[in-house]
């Protein structure tokens, strides 16, 4: 039997090391938390080749000498006087443990709950490790069975992964085309289902009202607002448009809005942190369209909470649109949605499509949270690089941005393992 220890940051990486080193037949003996990650003990049963037996006279002589020395030592121990043995027994028998002091007793009593908590924590970690281990193994088995039994479905899974779509969205889409025998037809139907799952507004959001752009710093709110303002002026004129800036935190943010207002000949209102948004918007009641630029603040900043409360006021009837950069990671997009959903989101705007490697993450968030995609921004030009979103165009763009290389087998197995962690969400 070959036993080996593996160290990794998490359970999935440790399992990959085990598979690469010992193969799929390796057995997991145990796991524990160590500094920096996980220690995994694995074993592999194998038949060791028999060693060639050649006589070695020198070795035999040394073995006989060693055996003789062991025999002499045993004889000396046997010949030890019985009196000494009795003395030793009496000596050790008369030794009584000292009575613990009151302080020591109290310390021991306090240490018992701590030891119990540590034991529970160790058990909890052990169970979590076993759960992750089972999930990884089940994911690997499920992916292997799918490739063997349904190779067409496995190919579609790979194509969706190349688009960046998560497993919880891919699974219900693939279930809808499971009965289609032709691969090309199944792929076209799958993209059609995906297109219907993406919501887009029936009319241009710039028709009328008060519209605010919210989102984290660097998402492209100010640039998108400039494109929307220029688009509105070209369509309806500058007389019925007003710009409002609530970003007094970023250096130069209000100066950008002022410059944009001078270029478009549009009035600009600056809202200070202590100023009421209702009072600032009161003189603009006759304007047909008001665009509000907000500050991208950390989620823990109290100023952000005050800003979101002002935008969520029912008396203002502000349509808030979440600006999401398609270059952001999935966790960043989810965190932004959780932060800004409290102000009541009317939809989202996808920016930086010209820099994105994939659109699957942002599309998945919009579908899962039922956020209509209002606009697509794919460049720095104002207002040319801003289009009203169309679901089929967005899906076509996502297909064109899919990764050129096929996902690895480990990545597919890890994706299937993720299906056991959370229930799948239906698309559409």
| CATH number of domain containing 211 | 3.40.50.300
Q: Is residue 416 part of a domain?
A: no
Check pLDDT > 60 for residue 95: no
Q: Is residue 135 part of a domain?
A: no
- CA angle at residue 201 from 425 to 227, to 5 degrees? 115
Q: Is residue 340 part of a domain?
A: yes
Q: Counting Cβ atoms within 10 Å, is residue 361 exposed (0-12), middle (13-18) or buried (19+)?
A: buried
DSSP state letter for 425:
P
Q: Is residue 119 part of a domain?
A: no
Q: Is residue 234 part of a domain?
A: yes
- pLDDT reported for residue 98: 53
Q: How far is 424 from 204, CA to CA, in rounded Å?
A: 33
Phi (first) and psi of residue 355, to 5 degrees: -105, -5
Tell how strand 268-270 and strand 209-214 pair up: unpaired
- Of 296 and 57, the one with more pLDDT: 296
- Of 222 and 426, the one with more pLDDT: 222
In DSSP terms, which residues pair with 347 in a beta bridge?
A: 321
Number of domains making up the chain:
2
Q: Is residue 14 part of a domain?
A: yes
Q: How far is CA 324 from the centre of its chain?
A: 16
* Residues 170-211: tens digit of each pLDDT: 888 888 888 887 888 888 998 999 999 999 988 888 877 889
Q: Is residue 98 part of a domain?
A: no
Question: Which residues 6+ apart lie within 8 Å of 340 measured at CB?
Answer: 214, 215, 308, 320, 322
- pLDDT reported for residue 91: 43
Which residues form the domain of 308?
205-389
pTM: 0.66
Q: Is residue 284 part of a domain?
A: yes
Q: SS3 sequence, 3-14?
A: EEEEEECCHHHH
In DSSP terms, which residues pair with 322 in a beta bridge?
A: 214, 348
Tokens representing 222?
A: 């100010």
Q: How far is 206 from 228, CA to CA, in rounded Å?
A: 8
Radius of gyration (Cα) for the chain, nearest Å? Answer: 34
Q: Counting Cβ atoms within 10 Å, is residue 142 exposed (0-12), middle (13-18) or buried (19+)?
A: middle
CA dihedral 229, 232, 234, 235 (to 10 degrees): 180
């Amino acid at each position: 039997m070959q036993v080996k220890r593996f160290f990794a940051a998490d359970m999935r990486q440790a399992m990959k090391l085990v598979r690469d080193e010992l193969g799929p037949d390796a057995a997991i003996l145990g796991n524990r938390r160590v500094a920096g990650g996980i220690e995994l003990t694995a074993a592999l049963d194998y038949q060791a080749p028999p060693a060639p037996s050649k006589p070695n006279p020198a070795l035999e002589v040394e073995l006989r000498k060693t055996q003789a020395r062991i025999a002499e030592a045993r004889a000396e121990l046997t010949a030890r006087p019985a009196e000494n043995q009795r003395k030793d027994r009496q000596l050790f028998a008369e030794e009584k443990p000292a009575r613990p002091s009151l302080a020591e007793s109290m310390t021991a009593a306090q240490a018992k709950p701590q030891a119990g908590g540590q034991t529970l924590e160790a058990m909890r970690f052990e169970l979590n490790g076993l759960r992750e281990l089972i999930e990884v193994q089940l994911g690997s088995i499920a992916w292997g069975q799918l490739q063997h039994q349904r190779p067409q479905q496995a190919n579609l899974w790979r194509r969706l992964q190349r688009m960046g779509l998560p497993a919880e969205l891919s699974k219900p889409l693939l279930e809808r085309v499971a009965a289609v025998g032709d691969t090309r037809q199944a792929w076209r139907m799958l993209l059609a289902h995906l297109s219907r799952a993406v919501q887009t507004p029936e009319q241009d959001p710039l028709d009328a009202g008060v519209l605010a752009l919210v989102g984290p710093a660097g998402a492209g709110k100010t640039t998108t607002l400039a494109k929307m303002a220029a688009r509105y002026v070209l369509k309806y004129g500058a007389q019925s448009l007003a710009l409002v800036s609530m970003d007094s935190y970023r250096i130069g943010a209000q100066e950008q809005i002022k410059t944009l207002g001078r270029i478009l000949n549009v009035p600009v209102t600056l809202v200070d942190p202590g100023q009421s948004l209702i009072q600032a918007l009161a003189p603009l009641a006759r304007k047909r369209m008001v665009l509000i630029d907000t500050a991208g603040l950390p989620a823990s900043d109290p100023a952000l909470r005050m800003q979101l409360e002002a935008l969520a006021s029912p008396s203002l009837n502000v349509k808030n649109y979440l600006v999401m950069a398609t270059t952001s990671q999935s966790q960043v997009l989810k965190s932004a949605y959780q932060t800004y959903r409290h102000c009541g989101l009317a939809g989202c705007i996808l920016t930086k499509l010209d820099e994105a490697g994939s659109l699957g993450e942002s599309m998945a968030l919009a579908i899962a949270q039922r956020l209509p995609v209002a606009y697509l921004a794919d460049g720095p030009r104002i207002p040319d690089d801003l289009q009203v979103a169309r679901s089929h165009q967005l899906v076509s763009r996502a297909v064109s941005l899919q990764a050129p290389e096929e996902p690895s087998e480990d990545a597919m197995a890890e994706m299937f393992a993720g299906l056991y962690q959370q229930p799948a969400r239906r698309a559409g």
